[in-house]
Amino acid sequence: MEQKNKAERSPAARNDGRGKVTSYDVASLAGVSQSAVSRCFKPGASISAKIRGKVEKAARQLGYQPNAIARGLISGRSNIVAVIINNLTNLIYPEVLSELNQKFAQHGQHVLLFTLSRESDVDRVLDQVWQYQVDGIVAAAQFTDAQLAACEARCTPLVFYNRIYPNHSVASVCCDHEEGERLLVEGLLRSGRESFAVVSGPADSAVSTARTHGAINALKSAGIPYRQIEGDYSYECAKGIVNSLLAKDSRKINAIVCANDVMAIGCIDQLVHVHGMRVPEDISVVGFDGVSAASWENYNLTTIVQPVSRMVDAAVQMLIERIESFDLPVEKRIFSGKMRFGASASLR
């Protein structure tokens, strides 16, 4: 089997003018200096229209592309941002990632993706992040004090997505989880529900902690008893949780507050298809996120819709600003979610 590696092939490719063409090749063909070619591809650099025309023609002819990596080493900019994100199968994060990717591209930044199996699994990826000399980080994950300090020491700007650190000064974009849960619980109470279950996400999820806290605070303020059960954000876990809720408290619980939409969907399916209950007549179910499946006819969830597009706009803008000027004052932008009045709970 013939095997040639990339390095061995390069000279041949260069010979026929199709391979890794350099700025010197372009300068030679265009009859200009190499520095003119370089200026032509540098955003904002001044160059005459005539020379630009010559360079662009020669570059097209040779298939020349400026080397972003080499340029990055010189300028100290890689034009790469790291996105550290948990569990892409969680339905809301693919939407977030897709928006982040498109909006960073508009600023000439590209997304190097790091996925975690658990939110607290940051150490493993952070070593790799440093190696790529990224210009900045968007993190939907939990950082320790040491990890925050490492970003600070490296002057790498960092914007947290959907979590804030009450005790730390770190730039963050967040949906107001507690307010959203309070609105849901107050609505359920007004609609006459008085026996609650609160289904949280994994213990190391900051989003789940904030949402569960919000729901429980609202219930405590109203003096309403509740049961709290830990899930893992999945459809499957929700089905088991419904079984255990009904086994122990049959007919008693009439409202389930879930820390995300997917668990609310799992609860509804189990209540309706397995236990023959009516939602919302027998029991109300509410979620949080506003994923696309929440508006599917069969579920029509009552939930809090995160303003994903506005939140991503904010995160991108904040990170881009901080890449330009590392020492900008810390800012936390907290967005209110929007109540979706669905059919899984009658709140109006």
**Could you give the angle at which helices 308-324 and 92-105 cross, rounded to 10 degrees?**
40
Q: Does 148 bind a copy of itself (CB under 8 A)?
A: no
Q: Does 330 bind a copy of itself (CB under 8 A)?
A: no
Q: Which of residues 166-225 bind a copy of itself (CB under 8 A)?
A: none
Q: Does 112 bind a copy of itself (CB under 8 A)?
A: yes
- Taking the least distance from each CB to a copy of itself, the nearer of 23 and 212 is 23
C-alpha R_g of the chain: 26
Q: Which of residues 121-140 bind a copy of itself (CB under 8 A)?
A: 127-128, 130-133
Q: Does 278 bind a copy of itself (CB under 8 A)?
A: no
How far apart, in whole angstroms, are the C-alpha atoms of residue 84 and residue 252?
A: 41
Q: Is the dihedral of CA 38, 42, 46, 51 positive or negative?
A: positive
Name the minimum Å distance from CB 182 to a copy of itself. Answer: 29
Stretch that binds a copy of itself, among 30-38, 218-226, 246-254, 291-299 (CB under 8 A): 291-299
CA neighbor of 25 nearest in space, from 43, 12, 37: 37
268: left (phi over 0), alpha (psi -120 to 50) or beta: alpha
Name the minimum Å distance from CB 252 to a copy of itself. Answer: 23
250: left (phi over 0), alpha (psi -120 to 50) or beta: beta
Q: Is the dihedral of CA 35, 40, 45, 50 positive or negative?
A: positive
Name the minimum Å distance from CB 15 to a copy of itself. Answer: 12
Stretch that binds a copy of itself, among 29-37, 45-53, 170-178, 264-272 (CB under 8 A): 264-272
- Taking the least distance from each CB to a copy of itself, the nearer of 33 and 67 is 67
Helices (H) and strands (E) in the chain, counts: 13, 12
- Taking the least distance from each CB to a copy of itself, the nearer of 151 and 174 is 151
Give first-to-last CA distance, the chain, whole Å.
71
Say how many residues touch a copy of itself, by CB under 8 A.
75
Q: Which of 213, 227, 239, 275 binds a copy of itself (CB under 8 A)?
A: 239
Q: Does 74 bind a copy of itself (CB under 8 A)?
A: no
Instruction: Write the DSSP assignment of 228-269 as a string of letters.
Output: EEE--S-HHHHHHHHHHHHHHHTTT--EEEESSHHHHHHHHH
Q: Does 102 bind a copy of itself (CB under 8 A)?
A: yes
Q: Does 113 bind a copy of itself (CB under 8 A)?
A: yes
Q: Does 72 bind a copy of itself (CB under 8 A)?
A: yes
Q: Does 42 bind a copy of itself (CB under 8 A)?
A: no
Structure tokens at 236: 């499957």
Q: Does 150 bind a copy of itself (CB under 8 A)?
A: yes
Helix segments in the chain, DSSP class H: 6-15, 23-30, 34-40, 49-62, 68-75, 92-105, 122-131, 145-153, 177-190, 206-221, 235-249, 261-269, 308-324
Stretch that binds a copy of itself, among 47-55, 310-318, 321-329, 330-338 (CB under 8 A): 321-329
Q: β-strand 303-305 against 338-340: which pairing, if any?
A: antiparallel
Name the minimum Å distance from CB 76 to a copy of itself. Answer: 6
Stretch that binds a copy of itself, among 86-94, 169-177, 185-193, 211-219 (CB under 8 A): 86-94
Name the minimum Å distance from CB 104 to a copy of itself. Answer: 10
Q: Does 233 bind a copy of itself (CB under 8 A)?
A: no
How far apart, in whole angstroms, are the C-alpha atoms of residue 294 and residue 109?
A: 32
Stretch that binds a copy of itself, among 28-36, 106-114, 199-207, 208-216 (CB under 8 A): 106-114
CA distances from 178 to 95, 175, 182, 212 (A): 22, 9, 6, 8
Q: Which of 265, 283, 304, 314 binds a copy of itself (CB under 8 A)?
A: 265
Q: Does 114 bind a copy of itself (CB under 8 A)?
A: yes
Look at the block and give the residue holding tokens 């010197």.
Answer: 24
Q: Does 76 bind a copy of itself (CB under 8 A)?
A: yes
